Amino acid sequence: MNFHWLRPEWLLAILPLLILFIPLILKNTRDTVWQKACDPHLLPHLFIVHKTSFALLQKIMLFSGFLLTIIALAGPSYKTISVPIFELNTARVIVFDLSTAEWSTDLSPNRLTRARFKLLDLLQALEEGQTGLVLFTEQAFPVTPLTQDTQTIITQINELSPDIMPVQGYRLDLALLKAQTLLKQAGIQKGQIVAFSAQNPDQKAISIAKTLAQQGIITNVLSIGTGSGGPITTSTGELAKDRNGNILVSSLNSSAFSALAQAGQGQWWTLDTPTQTMVHTLNPLYATKNTSKKAAAQTTIPLDNGYIWIWPILVLGLWLFRRGRLEEFLQ
């Protein structure tokens, strides 16, 4: 038998209980001033006197009631039970923009660094469901299939950079279709997409998001950057220029992101959006639980046996319902 306490901090309440009751119990063994000054045959005419043994029994019963209450609250456990581990049957694919717009410096130190931090926070907060990762520029590349082990994706975050992509450009529409493919390969008909985008979604992406929403795949978008924009740098920190020598600047249009979220029946977030807000959307309260015994692992949890002590507590408490009982106790 593996006995232990589920809430052992409640046992600390025994100390003030002893401090309160020990003087009251010892009070029965000491003579009062009236007992010293009056003859024994006169005491019954002055106040109610209980036999010492009966008064002591009353106080011990009340002390026992409080003690058993503390024990029950501390949660004694000497039994365990095996239960299946249920998980939210949710799935989402993160599509991450690695175009050169990520090097824009309108955010400090740049958009890419801030986006990676946000992705890390999100992955650490997603404790249930499956997650996949797609990187995109002109082409979309699946990096991680749907998995419950988000640590697999976390280990790759520091490597995310436009420099690792074989081509440049921006085709969010292709990334959304690739995310749909990952969901289908996992046998999931309905899921969510989180698009990390440092450029304005075009009409192609908005059209694809609308089509996916009709099929049960929700598209959410997180904009990386500001409306005022900023110059784009290279990986070496130099200002990026076009063929005519003009400095490249990337600015975001809020209406484009709003249109994408509306078409995809999802949410539009920014880097300032609380991560928990995103998690509540990606792990909705109405999501179904996976109750398959074959799929669900088993775990052992301790049972709280504190309820057993309720009955003796109730029995000891019955005598308190008599009128004047507490007055008799304090005498």
CB-based contact 21:58 (threshold 8 Å): no
- Could you identify the residue written with the tokens 């699946």? 142
Residues 190 and 240 in one domain: yes
Residues 118 and 215 in one domain: yes
Residues 111 and 55 in one domain: no
Is 320 among the domain residues? yes
Is 293 among the domain residues? no
Cα(25)–Cα(15) distance, rounded to whole angstroms?
Answer: 15
- Give the structural domain span for 42: 4-81+301-330
Residues 251 and 326 in one domain: no
Tens of pLDDT, residues 274-315: 999 999 998 875 455 544 444 456 667 788 888 888 888 887
Cα(90)–Cα(327) distance, rounded to whole angstroms?
Answer: 61
Is 288 among the domain residues? no
Tens of pLDDT, residues 182-199: 999 988 888 999 999 999
Tens of pLDDT, residues 55-83: 667 777 778 888 888 988 998 888 877 76
Q: Is residue 260 very low, low, confident or very high in pLDDT (cuts 50, 70, 90)?
A: very high
Return the structure tokens found at 107: 């955010």
List beta partners, residue 8.
none
Among candidate residues 168, 186, 179, the one with its CA nearest the CA of residue 208: 179
Among candidate residues 312, 314, 310, 301, the one with its CA nearest the CA of residue 72: 310
Q: Angle at which helices 310-317 and 52-73 pack, to 10 degrees? A: 150
Residues 238 and 170 in one domain: yes
Tens of pLDDT, residues 214-253: 999 999 999 999 999 888 887 777 787 767 777 888 899 9
Residues 227 and 317 in one domain: no
Residues 139 and 237 in one domain: yes
- Could you identify the residue written with the tokens 């690695």? 98
Residues 118 and 67 in one domain: no
Q: Angle at which helices 14-26 and 52-73 pack, to 10 degrees? A: 180
Residues 26 and 159 in one domain: no
Residues 75 and 99 in one domain: no
- Does the reported pTM lie above 0.75? no
Q: What percent of the chain has pLDDT over 90?
A: 45
Is 290 among the domain residues? no
Instruction: Assign residue 272 the CATH number of its domain.
Output: 3.40.50.410
Residues 47 and 145 in one domain: no
The domain total for the chain is 2
Is 296 among the domain residues? no
Which pLDDT score is estimated for 314? 82
Cα(4)–Cα(226) distance, rounded to whole angstroms?
Answer: 55
Residues 274 and 311 in one domain: no
Is 52 among the domain residues? yes
